[in-house]
Amino acid sequence: MRIAILHNSFNKIGGAEFVANQQYDQLIKLGFEVQVFSGDICGLEPWSPSQSKLERLRRHFLDLFGMRLNELIKGIDEFNPDLIHIHNWVGLRSNTLSFLSTVYPVAHTVHDYSILDPSTLLKQNYNVCTRTILRWRTLLLLKRFHKICFIFPSERTQKYFQNYFGLLPSKQIIQPFDLQFNFMENGNRSKNTKVLGYLGQIEPHKGILDFTERFVTAGNPSLSLIIAGKGSDERFLFENFNDSNVTFLGWLDQTKISFFLNNISWLVFPSIWPENFSIACCQALKLGLPIIVDERSKPPFALDGALLTYGPNSKYLSIEEVLDFVNGCTDEEYIDFSSSATASIKNFTTPIDWNALHSKVLEDFCES
Residue 52: phi and psi, rounded to 5, are -70, 165
Reported as a pLDDT band with limits 50, 70 and 90, residue 43 is low
Please determine, for residue 16, whether its predicted confidence score (pLDDT) is greater than 90: no
Enumerate the β-bridge partners of residue 2: 33
Query: pLDDT tens digits for 324-367?
Result: 999 999 999 999 999 999 999 998 888 999 999 999 999 888 87
pLDDT score at 336: 95
Chain-centroid distance of CA 152 in Å reads: 12
Judge whether 226 and 195 are in contact, CB under 8 Å: yes
pLDDT score at 190: 62
pLDDT score at 334: 94
pLDDT score at 42: 60
Please determine, for residue 49, whether its predicted confidence score (pLDDT) is greater than 60: no
**Domains of the chain in sequence order:** 2-178+350-367 (3.40.50.2000), 195-347 (3.40.50.2000)
For 81-150, the DSSP string reads -SEEEE---TTS-HHHHHHHHHHS-EEEE--S-TTT-TTSS--S---HHHHHHHHHHHHHHHHHTTTSEE
Give the integer Cα–Cα distance in Å for 139 and 116: 9
pLDDT above 90 coverage of the chain, percent: 54
Query: pLDDT tens digits for 236-274?
Result: 888 888 777 899 988 888 778 888 998 999 999 999 888
Please determine, for residue 279, whether its predicted confidence score (pLDDT) is greater than 60: yes
pLDDT score at 343: 94
Query: pLDDT tens digits for 78-122?
Result: 999 999 999 999 889 999 999 999 999 999 999 888 898 887 777
Please determine, for residue 216, whether its predicted confidence score (pLDDT) is greater than 80: yes
Query: pLDDT tens digits for 131-150?
Result: 899 999 999 999 999 999 99
pLDDT score at 183: 62
pLDDT score at 236: 86
Give the integer Cα–Cα distance in Å for 225 and 248: 9
Question: What global pTM score does this model have?
Answer: 0.86
Reported as a pLDDT band with limits 50, 70 and 90, residue 14 is confident
Give the integer Cα–Cα distance in Å for 135 and 246: 42
Q: Which of 323, 303, 317, 299 has its CA nearest to residue 211?
A: 323
Alpha-carbon Rg of the chain, whole angstroms? 21
What are the helix (H) ranges across the chain? Answer: 15-29, 53-65, 70-79, 94-103, 128-144, 155-165, 208-218, 234-240, 254-261, 279-286, 319-328, 331-343, 354-367
Under the phi-then-psi rule, with left for phi > 0, alpha for psi from -120 to 50, and beta for the rest, what region is 270? alpha
pLDDT score at 273: 84
Decide which of 231 and 268 is more confident: 268
Question: What's the mean per-residue pLDDT of the chain?
Answer: 88
Give the integer Cα–Cα distance in Å for 63 and 266: 40
pLDDT score at 237: 85
